[in-house]
Structure 1
Amino acid sequence: MNDTAVGAGRRRGLLGTGLLATLAAVVATTLAAALAQAMGVDFEIPDGGEAIPLPGFAVVTGFFSVVGIVIAAALRRWSARPAERFVWTAVSLTVVSLVPPLLSGANTAAVTALVALHLVPAAVIIPALARSLRAAGRR
């Protein structure tokens, strides 16, 4: 197999894994948000006055999951240790993403749910992409 075919296989592997993980993260996050709403959590942010709609969780999760795939692909191309760099980068960005809910002024239940809803997709996406990057490095 030539280098071009190997490179294409790695891209498909990372992309395929990333898209499947994105789908899983979107479903898990949306279900968790629906469960939180069913338990009485309102996702109303005091300054905005509007509640975060359930589809909003899916859209934001999908968008930032795709951003994670792009970061993973860039690190695979330009880093000597892409899996390790990806984990550090993704965990750091996840921690930064926890700041807005903590500063939102929402009630304790909403803040707790929002923090959890940041951690749910991270728990799905980060390990999946890290595994894919490690597997690509062994080929």
Structure 2
Amino acid sequence: MDGTNDTGVAASPASGRTSRTHRYRGLARTGSIATLAAMAATTLAAALARAVGVDFEVPDGGESIPLSGFAVVTGFFSAVGTVIAVALLRWSARPAERFVWTAVSLTAISLVPPLLSGADTTTTAALLGLHLVPAAVMIPTLAWSLRTRAD
């Protein structure tokens, strides 16, 4: 009978480790899918804005931001958001709440550069909106996933 109890005790840490690894991988998978969705949504929104006449020309150099640029930047910062979510799942007692506060704060900070860019009003307004599109995809998705994966 003692052998059964010993086996149960020995299996518990291993299964806890597997469960923890599964939570991190699941969150990373959710974040990856949300990142692809955010990239698609942002690129589509930029294409629609361009179709109605927004030129996305920034004063520094006078070049227009390409659609691929929106996808790349969205992908990079969405991946950063996923890494932040995984870190908070690992080290925070309240990962979902901390993630929402962090992500909303970083989104607010990201609105400053378009305002300072010196671009025309339509480009600035479109850029502000395009900062909110991936936030609207990533923040609720990762917050929900953190809530379902937290202990």
SS at the partner of 1:121?
helix
Is 1:26 the equivalent of 2:6? no
Amino acid corresponding to residue 68 of structure 2 in structure 1: P
Q: CA RMSD in A?
A: 1.0
Rg larger for:
2
Aligned to 2:17: 4
Matches within 5 A, 1:99-114: 99-114=112-127
Shift of 1:68: 0.2
Unaligned runs of 5+ in 2: 1-11
In structure 2, distance between residues paired with 1:53 and 1:124: 21
In structure 2, distance between residues paired with 1:128 and 1:87: 10
Is 1:90 the equivalent of 2:103? yes
Is 1:67 the equivalent of 2:80? yes
Aligned to 1:45: 58
In structure 2, distance between residues paired with 1:24 and 1:47: 30
Shift of 1:13: 1.3
Return the TM-score normalized by structure 1: 0.96
The total of aligned residue pairs comes to 138
Return the TM-score normalized by structure 2: 0.89
In structure 1, distance between residues paired with 2:104 and 2:61: 28
Percent identity between the aligned chains? 70
Unaligned runs of 5+ in 1: none
In structure 2, distance between residues paired with 1:13 and 1:74: 13
